[in-house]
Amino acid sequence: MGSRRRTIVSLLVAACSSCLVLTGTVAAQSENRELIDGLEYQLLYVALPLTLFVLVILIYAAVKFHDNDDPQPTTEDPALEITWTAATAIILLFVGLSGYSVLVNPYVSPSQALEDDDRSQEGFDSFEDLPETDDEEVYVRGYQWEWQATYPDSNVTTENEIVIPADRNVTFWVTSDDVIHSLFVPDLGVKQDAFPGDYTRARTIVSEPGRYNAVCAEFCGAGHSRMDAAVVVVEPETYDQWLEDNADDDNVTAAPEPG
């Protein structure tokens, strides 16, 4: 009797824990993060009722059959089997379509925003090969164990600080000097691998100025754990003025304050 009670309590605790996942939602700061969060909640709204349904059945079975000394095999029920097979197919179809709609978005898959001729390329070997975009562009270079950002049409360079304007489409052209790195900005939902001798694209638009932590998400050697940086998002006017004021600076430039 005590074992059955503990089982039921454990199942109820699991159900309550699943419900608590929906609390404490934080507003997304970028289009990427909003897309990813939206997909997670879509799937959660499907998974949570199914989880609760299964837990209810488990509790029912634990209560009804715990003292059954003469168990019998389940009787055949073709209608029930067809129903749960069809329901499973519908759920999987929903999951597939939901995931596909996010994966083809040009912020999650930046190649979708390129022209067909450029989209067919897997990577770009040099600055000259990079296609033209209408975005604000930043060249981000990873090396053991730092990040360096340069800004086209200016002489500005920053180290371990990547400055971008808020409310503008931004493209990061990411590359590496030595081994494979990966630029990952969790709060903005941005993640892109950096390959030696290759340029890959990450794309975002950020709504809220501030400093966002960036890390290397690909093990790259002994200093991997300290290869972090900050993505500094400032107002568009501040960004333009900062580039203009530092256009003749040959040294590493400090990022402006987000406020």
Sequence ranges of the domains in the chain: 2-65+82-103, 124-245
CA dist., res. 174 & res. 216, Å (int): 12
Average pLDDT, the chain: 84
Please, are residues 139 and 128 in contact by the beta-carbon 8 Å criterion?
A: no
CATH says 124-245 is which class? mainly beta
- Give the per-residue pLDDT at 119: 44
% pLDDT > 70, the chain:
82
139's tokens: 């060249």
- Give the per-residue pLDDT at 143: 95
pTM to 2 decimal places: 0.76
CA dist., res. 221 & res. 145, Å (int): 8
CA dist., res. 151 & res. 139, Å (int): 6
Q: Is the pLDDT of residue 241 over 50?
A: yes
Q: Which of 70-79, 97-106, 120-129, 155-164 has the lowest mean pLDDT?
A: 120-129
Please, are residues 194 and 181 in contact by the beta-carbon 8 Å criterion?
A: yes
- Give the per-residue pLDDT at 125: 52
CA dist., res. 108 & res. 98, Å (int): 14
Q: Is the pLDDT of residue 45 over 60?
A: yes
Instruction: Return the top range by mean pLDDT from 42-46, 130-134, 233-237.
Output: 233-237
Q: How confident is the model at residue 128 (pLDDT cuts 50, 70, 90)?
A: low
Dihedrals phi, psi of 178, to nearest 5 degrees: -135, -75
